[in-house]
Amino acid sequence: MTFTTKALLVLLTLSTAACTRPDRFGGGINDGTAGANNGANAGVNAPTGASDPSSPQFFAQTIGDRVLFEVDSATLTAAGQATLDGQAGWLQTNADYLAIVEGHADEQGTREYNLALGARRANTVREYLISKGVPSTRLRTISYGKERPIEVCSEEACYAKNRRAVTIISVGALS
Amino acid sequence: MLKLMKALGLALFLAAPVAAQDGPLRLTITDGVIEPLPFAVPGFQAETAGAEQLAADITRLVAQDLANTGLFREIPASAFISQPASFGAPVAYPDWRAINAQALIGGAVAVSGDQLVVKFRLYDVFAGTELGEGLQFAGTVQGWRRMAHKVADAAYSRITGEGGYFDSRVVFVSEAGPKDARQKRLAIMDYDGANLQFLTDSSAIVLAPRFSPRGDRVLYTSYESGFPRINVLDVANVGRQQLPTAEGEMAFSPRFSRDGNQVIYSLANGGNTDLYRTDLASGAHTRLTSAPSIETAPSFSPDGSRIVFESDRSGTQQLYIMSANGGDAQRISFGEGRYGTPVWSPRGDLIAFTKQNAGRFHIGVMRTDGSEERLLTASFLDEGPTWSPNGRVLMFMRETQGAGGTSTLYSVDISGRNLKAVPVQGAGSDPSWGPLQP
């Protein structure tokens, strides 16, 4: 039983540290929860605001950082393609930035399947951006499955917003 | 815990052979309606001064383990006509027959310092004989719940002829916070929710822990590195190690082989998810599927020769079985709706799964050829079954609907009876039921 007590003490210390973090979604991309909640606020803090067309805020708010998907689908809609055309243009103009594409699913589905589905969605976006001229070395993907919904109701209005792929702009090396 | 396990020796006590008898006490668990078997547990005798409370607690836990199965019904002490004079004294069978107790459990508890000894005897009241031999368990006072579970396992096993499952643990994901900011951490507890301990903090998402067959290690998916990766955690010292995964790949949905030496899991690369197998000692890995579809949630057959998994190669999520070396797969699910998270039963005869149909989720079982599908539960979201060590009970997660939705662990018999919430402190998901402890 001695070991148990020690382990609990260590974990308590760790969890205290986690609780005091001011913004659990505000970390860099090496943080497991980075950018997962809200693409508009995630990523880097650029020196200039949303009115600067070269800022990540402009990308998120004006270009549009996300595309939505139909139920159990990873096929881009026409609206999604239009958004991604804008993203590809922006990424080519602002060549210093890297991007990570997050794939998400709604809660109607099993955990593992939704992780795989999110991976499919993120990859669809990545492939589309590459086809429009964005170098593949600047794009990475991650799937959160159904782990990070932005809307919490259990209705289609919420599900539709959760079935998404969000392009998060970042600086520095992708690791 | 190690200390306890070493100390917890099982000794035969008073080796009296079971006499041949007519119609011995035996509860055969079938799928038909079962009338719970009435049993009586007079308070275990305290054989040393100061052991009274412990004796009472152990008696209660033994009774609770048995009654919670739904297969047994405890006769309240208020109905008792007499009390046993001492442990091992001749049993006044007529007094127990008169209140229709079919099984009588006798016990005694002795404490010496930190050491605890629990003795146990089981009687077949209507045959008027002892069922099996007396048993004695020795351990520490802190491990008293395990000793009570061992007594209940012995009683369950002698009456049903099947293995018990009470002295076992469950690893799961403990959850806190709202749906859009949920915190998850690995936790471990006894099968009945007692002795909860956390194994990780909640700084990164953790998913779907899976016990090793011996219960000494846990595989799980963690976002600690920023991307989904598989970790192996040593339960005894909470040390963890990441399975090597190439950059740009996502690894998840791991499960041990029955010998604990290999891991099967899903790897997503370029948006495509396939199954792989890695040998833990050598690190050698083998690709098992190569299809543009999603292949995930693999689970070994008990003999290690086959793997059941889910795939959407037909257009929707369905269950398939293939050789443990990959190759052709045979589809086994053909009902309406989608099927996922298949888990091979420890007996080898059944596959438990999650089914999604017409906006509802179910936990179900089917034979390994897909026949005799039986849905055991239905709710807004039931998911991820795990087998009790004896293959009689499934534990799973049930999530409630809407903005305030939370996850709770539930258990249900493979007959569909005895659905109940597992008394866990806080919300929980993704349970994995470990083996009977040594």
**Calpha distance B279→B281 (Å, rounded):** 6
Token representation of residue A69: 């998907």
Query: Which residues share a beta bridge with A171?
Result: none
How far apart are alpha carbons B267 and B289 in whole angstroms?
A: 10
CA distance, residue B294 to nearest chain A CA (Å): 6
**What global pTM score does this model have?**
0.88
Q: What is the pLDDT of residue B425?
A: 87
The size of chain A, in residues, is: 175
C-alpha to C-alpha distance for B328 and A75, rounded to whole angstroms: 28
Contact B109, B56 (CB under 8 A): no
Please name the residues between 61 and 120 in chain A that touch chain B, using a CB distance below 8 Å. Answer: 72, 74, 107-113, 115-117, 119-120
Dist CA A65 CA B23 (whole Å) = 73
Given the DSSP bridges, would you call strands A164-170 and A98-104 parallel, antiparallel or unpaired?
antiparallel
Cα of B173 vs its chain's centroid, Å = 15
CB contact A45 to B (< 8 Å):
no
Q: What is the 8-class DSSP label of residue B78?
A: G
Which residues of chain B make contact with A33, given a CB cutoff of 8 A? Answer: 203-205, 223
| pLDDT greater than 60 at residue A40 | no
Q: Name which of B179, B266, B310 is nearest A152 (Cβ-Cβ).
A: B179
Q: Mean pLDDT throughout B393-415?
A: 96
Chain A residues close to B203, C-beta within 8 Å: 14, 17-18, 21, 32-33
Instruction: For chain B, positions 102-131, list CB contacts with chain A under 8 A.
Output: none
- Better-scored residue on pLDDT, A21 or B119: B119
CA of A151: how far to CAs of A25, A106, A146, in Å? 16, 9, 11
Per-residue pLDDT, B27? 76
Indicate the SS3 state at residue B141. helix
Q: Average pLDDT over chain B, rounded to whole? A: 92
Average of pLDDT values for B242-257?
Answer: 95
pLDDT tens digits, one per residue of B342-359: 999 999 999 999 999 999
Note whether A143 contacts B: Cβ–Cβ < 8 A: yes
Position B422 pLDDT exceeds 50: yes
Of A113, A122, A144, which is closest to B310 when you measure between CB atoms?
A: A113
How many angstroms separate the first and last alpha carbons of chain B? 12
Residues B345/B366, Cβ–Cβ less than 8 Å: no
pLDDT at B371 over 70: yes
Instruction: Verify whether the Cβ–Cβ distance B180 to A116 is below 8 Å.
Output: no
Average pLDDT of B37-45?
A: 97
Residues 6+ apart with CB under 8 A from B234: B216, B217, B240
CB B67 within 8 A of CB B6: no
Predicted confidence at residue B116, as pLDDT, reads 97
CB contact under 8 A, A8 and B198: yes
Q: What is the pLDDT of residue B347?
A: 95
| Nearest CA-CA distance, residue A54 and chain B, Å | 26
Secondary element (H or E) of residue B254: strand B250-256
| A51-93: pLDDT as tens digits | 899 999 999 999 999 999 999 999 999 999 999 999 999 999 9
CA–CA gap between residue B174 and residue B200 (Å, rounded): 10
Count the neighbouring beta carbons within 10 Å of the beta carbon of residue A152: 16
Using alpha carbons, select from B385, B390, B398, B391 the residue that is nearest to residue B432: B385
Angle (CA) A26-A29-A32 rounded to 5° is 80
Give the pairing type, strands B45-46 and B183-190. Answer: unpaired
Closest partner CB to B296 (pick from A14, A113, A144): A113
DSSP assignment of B150-192: HHHHHHHHHHHSS---SSEEEEEEEEES-GGG-EEEEEEEETT
Tell me if A112 and B354 make a contact (CB, 8 A cut-off).
no
B34: amino acid identity, one letter: I
- B360's CB contacts (< 8 A; 6+ apart) are B378, B379, B380
3-class DSSP assignment, residue B28? coil
Q: Is A7 in the B-facing interface, judged by CB distances under 8 Å?
A: yes
Name the residue among B222, B223, B296 with its Cβ closest to that of A112.
B296
What six digits make up the tokens of B121?
A: 């005897």
Residues of A in contact with B294 (CB under 8 A): 113, 116-117, 120
Question: Which residues pair with residue B296 across a beta bridge?
Answer: B310
Map residue B109 onto helix, strand or coil: strand
Distance from the Cα of residue A51 to its chain's centroid: 22
Residues 361-420 of B with CB under 8 A from A: 380-381, 383-384, 399, 401-403, 405
Helix axes A78-93, A111-131, angle to 10 degrees: 60
Say whether pLDDT at A41 is over 50. no
Query: Chain A partners of B405 at a C-beta cutoff of 8 Å?
Result: 152, 154
Average the pLDDT over B83-94 and give the result: 93
Sheet containing strand B382-387, edge to edge, reads B382-387, B393-399, B407-413, B420-421
Query: Is the pLDDT assigned to residue A147 strictly greater than 70?
Result: yes
**Predicted confidence (pLDDT) per residue in B220-229, tens digit:** 999 999 999 9
d(CA A120, CA A101): 11
The string of DSSP codes covering chain A is -HHHHHHHHHHHHHHHHHHH-S-TT-S-TTSTTTTSS-TTT-S---SS-TTSTTSHHHIIIIIISEEE--TT--PPPHHHHHHHHHHHHHHHHSTT-EEEEEEE--SSS-HHHHHHHHHHHHHHHHHHHHHTT--GGGEEEEEEETS--S---SSHHHHHHHSEEEEEEE-S---
Q: For A170, left (φ over 0), alpha (ψ -120 to 50), or beta? A: beta
Put simply, the answer to whether B253 touches A112 (Cβ < 8 Å) is: yes
Tell me the chain A residues in contact with residue B142 when contact means C-beta distances shorter than 8 Å: 1
**pLDDT tens, B266-316?**
999 999 999 999 999 999 999 999 999 999 999 999 999 999 999 999 999
Residue A41, chain B, CB below 8 Å: the answer is no
Residue B248: name the closest of A167, A33, A147, A174 by CA. A174
Mean pLDDT of A122-147: 97
pLDDT of residue A173: 54
> Which of B174, B223, B182 is closest to A107 using CA atoms?
B182
The C-alpha atoms of residue A157 and residue B96 are separated, in whole angstroms, by 62
Q: What is the pLDDT of residue B26?
A: 78
Query: Is some CB atom of chain A closer than 8 A to the CB atom of B358?
Result: no
- Distance, C-alpha B379 to centroid of its chain: 21
Number of CB pairs, chain A paired with chain B, less than 8 A apart:
160
Q: What is the pLDDT of residue A171?
A: 81
The pLDDT value recorded for residue B17 is 31
Q: Do B205 and A32 touch (CB under 8 A)?
A: yes
CA-nearest residue of chain B to A124?
A: B271
CA dist list (Å): A106 to A26, A122, A156, A161, B90: 23, 14, 9, 8, 64
B401-414 mean pLDDT: 96
**B430 with A108: Cβ contact below 8 A:** no
Tell me what pLDDT residue B33 has. Answer: 55
Across B361-387, b (16+ Cβ under 10 Å) vs e yields: bbbbbbebebeebebbbebbbbbbbbb
Taking an 8 Å cut-off on Cβ atoms, the answer to whether B226 and A31 are in contact is yes
Residue B55 region by backbone torsions, left for phi larger than 0, else alpha for psi between -120 and 50, else beta: alpha
Question: What's the mean pLDDT in B99-115?
Answer: 97
Q: Given the structure tokens 């229709």, which residue do they identify?
A: B100
Residue of higher predicted confidence among A67 and B12 = A67
- Taking the C-alpha atoms of residue B401 and residue B344, their distance in angstroms, rounded to an integer, is 29
What tokens does B141 get? 């006072």
Whether B296 has its CB under 8 Å from any CB of chain A: the answer is yes
Neighbours of B191 (CB within 10 A): 24
- Check A18 against B201: CB less than 8 A apart: yes
User: Which of A17 and A168 is assigned the larger pLDDT?
Assistant: A168
How far does A110 lie from chain B, in Å, by closest CA? 7
**Residue B14's pLDDT band (boundaries 50, 70, 90)?**
very low
**Chain A residues lying within 8 Å of B202, measured CB to CB:** 15, 18
**Minimum CA–CA partner of A138 in chain B:** B248
